């Protein structure tokens, strides 16, 4: 076999394996991801939750999530911060062994750009990527401060983050909000 064909075949096998991986990752809720954060740390996951954007981008748990993460008397929100990989960053925790599927992200942004009422509707979405948390989350709080958490995302409020690879487009929906308990 000619070298060019071997290279093309190897590339095709990597793409096929990558596509298969996308379809076989376990899908976990934000609630379960936070509850099992230490076991899931460093794993590729598909996480489903309520999508939010504004001062950052994140997924929150469904309103029926009964889990509460408390460290040193400080309750963390059931939130997973969403970040893009940055392999050029000096912060190596933002490095990932994959790139972002930019076409996929653009399609998600286009499909969710329609006007919707954030007071009565939620965007449910499944994001795939590298799940990260701090194993020493208890040492990342100071109950004596106004903003006592030092986690991920905007104001350090998230106990975990997902370094985004892509979004499961056929699993995005806009639904009426469930009443908060």
Q: What is the pLDDT of residues 61-76, one digit of tens each?
A: 998 999 999 988 888 9
Query: Which position has the higher pLDDT, 149 or 118?
Result: 118
Instruction: Say if 19 falls within a structural domain.
Output: no
Query: Which position has the higher pLDDT, 149 or 121?
Result: 121
Q: Which helix H or strand E contains 35, and what residues bound it?
A: helix 30-35
Cα within 13 Å of Cα(47), Cβ side:
36
User: What average pLDDT score do residues 8-24 get?
Assistant: 41
Instruction: Say if 14 falls within a structural domain.
Output: no
CA distance 169 to 56: 20
Instruction: Say if 18 falls within a structural domain.
Output: no
| Position 4 confidence tier, pLDDT thresholds 50, 70, 90 | very low
Instruction: Say if 3 falls within a structural domain.
Output: no
Query: Which position has the higher pLDDT, 45 or 117?
Result: 45
162: domain range?
A: 26-176
- Per DSSP, the chain holds a count of helices (H) and strands (E) of 4, 9
Contact (CB, 8 A) for 81 and 153? yes
User: What average pLDDT score do residues 51-68 get?
Assistant: 89
Instruction: Say if 5 falls within a structural domain.
Output: no
Contact (CB, 8 A) for 160 and 133? yes
Instruction: Say if 66 falls within a structural domain.
Output: yes
Instruction: Write down the pLDDT at residue 11.
Output: 34
Instruction: Say if 122 falls within a structural domain.
Output: yes
User: What average pLDDT score do residues 109-134 get?
Assistant: 86
Using the predicted structure, report yes or no on whether residue 145 has a pLDDT greater than 90: no
Contact (CB, 8 A) for 140 and 150? yes
Task: Strands of 32-152 (E only): list them.
Answer: 44-54, 56-60, 69-71, 74-76, 79-83, 121-133
Cβ count within 10 A of residue 149: 22
CA distance 114 to 132: 31
The domain total for the chain is 1
Instruction: Say if 73 falls within a structural domain.
Output: yes
Using the predicted structure, report yes or no on whether residue 36 has a pLDDT greater than 90: yes
């Amino acid at each position: 076999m000619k070298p060019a064909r071997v290279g093309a075949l190897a590339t095709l096998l990597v793409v096929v394996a990558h596509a298969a991986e996308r379809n076989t990752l376990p899908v976990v809720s934000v609630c379960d991801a936070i509850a099992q954060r230490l076991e899931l740390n460093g794993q590729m996951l598909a996480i489903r939750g309520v999508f939010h954007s504004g001062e950052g981008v994140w997924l929150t748990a469904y309103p029926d999530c009964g889990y509460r993460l408390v460290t040193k008397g400080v309750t963390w929100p059931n939130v997973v911060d969403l970040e893009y990989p940055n392999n050029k960053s000096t912060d190596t925790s933002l490095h990932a062994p994959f790139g972002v599927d930019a076409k996929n992200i653009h399609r998600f942004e286009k499909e969710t750009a329609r006007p919707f009422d954030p007071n009565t509707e939620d965007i449910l979405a499944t994001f795939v990527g590298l799940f990260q948390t701090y194993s020493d989350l208890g040492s990342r709080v100071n109950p004596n401060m106004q903003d006592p958490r030092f986690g991920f995302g905007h104001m350090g409020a998230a106990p975990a983050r997902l370094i985004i690879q892509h979004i499961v487009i056929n699993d995005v929906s806009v639904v009426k909000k469930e009443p908060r308990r």
